[in-house]
Structure 1
Amino acid sequence: MMSLGIQRNDQVVVIAGKDRDLKKQRRVLSVDAEKGRVLVEHVHVIKKNVRPNPQRNIKGGIAEQEAPVHISNVQLVCPNCGPTRVGHKLEGDKKVRVCKKCGNEIATKGKKK
């Protein structure tokens, strides 16, 4: 499987689609590597009809939620130089993400296994 350059809780910029805004940084909520899609906060918001469920204390109506966007439509934001492409390099036996512009390592948020 191909290694994705984007992980959960990364800061990204939407570079294509109706929510394109190169000035606003958004947070990644989840990544689906098999489908190549990411769920980004406040991007591609859709309306969903929700049925009431008294057992779960859910009120019915129209709810808004984020829908996944393709991973090619977002770009990772490097803390030093802004939106950039992501490279990988091996440091010992670990594979780390690297900014293509400045060459600095992009920190990985604590990954749980």
Structure 2
Amino acid sequence: MSAMKIKKGDTVKVIAGKDKGKEGKVLAVNVKDNTVLVESVNMITKHAKPSMANTEGGIINKEAPIHASNVMLVADGKVTRVGFKMDGDKKVRFAKATGKVID
């Protein structure tokens, strides 16, 4: 399996789907399913029963995972593809649009 190009904390832009054009911060990454959880993107309504943790219950709005292929990394204000290169003996991500190292 190849390395995931999007990491937790990255700012991404949605390029496909109902939320196309929205930007947000990545909250979680699931490498196994190749999905990401982006804040305020792909919102769903969930009906929750009252429980010990949530005594009120009711309707909860929360984010649902979106496939990683439907998002692009935003670096320096513009969307870019991500590449990998060796920086000395360390593998780093870089923005293909600018050539700058991301992390």
Q: What is the rounded CA distance, in whole Å, between the counterparts of 1:74 and 1:92 in structure 2? A: 29
Q: Aligned partner of 1:88: which letter?
A: F
Deviations 1:9-45 (A, max 9, x none): 1000000000001xx4310000001100000001110
Match of residue 26, structure 1, among 12, 24, 28: 24
* Secondary structure at the counterpart of residue 5 of structure 2: coil
What's the offset of the Cα at 1:57?
Answer: 4.5
2:100 aligns with 104
Percent of aligned pairs sharing the same letter: 48
Q: What is the rounded CA distance, in whole Å, between the counterparts of 2:41 and 2:29 in structure 1? A: 14
The alignment yields a C-alpha RMSD, in angstroms, of: 1.2
Alignment pair present for 1:7 and 2:7 = yes
- The runs of at least 4 aligned residues of structure 1 exceeding 3 Å deviation read none
Q: TM-score, normalised by structure 1?
A: 0.86
Q: Aligned partner of 2:65: which letter?
A: P
Q: TM-score, normalised by structure 2?
A: 0.93
What are the ranges of 5 or more consecutive residues in structure 2 without an aligned counterpart?
A: none
What does residue range 70-89 of structure 1 map to in structure 2 within 5 Å?
Answer: 70-79=67-76, 82-89=78-85
2:59 aligns with 62
What's the offset of the Cα at 1:93?
Answer: 2.2
Given the superposition, is the C-alpha separation of residues 57 and 19 from structure 1 closer, same or farther in structure 2, using an over 3 Å criterion?
closer
Deviations 1:50-82 (A, max 9, x none): 1101x3253211111100000000000112x61
What are the ranges of 5 or more consecutive residues in structure 1 without an aligned counterpart?
A: 108-113
* Secondary structure at the counterpart of residue 56 of structure 1: coil
Q: Aligned partner of 1:95: which letter?
A: K
Q: What is the rounded CA distance, in whole Å, between the counterparts of 2:63 and 2:79 in structure 1? A: 22
1:91 aligns with 87
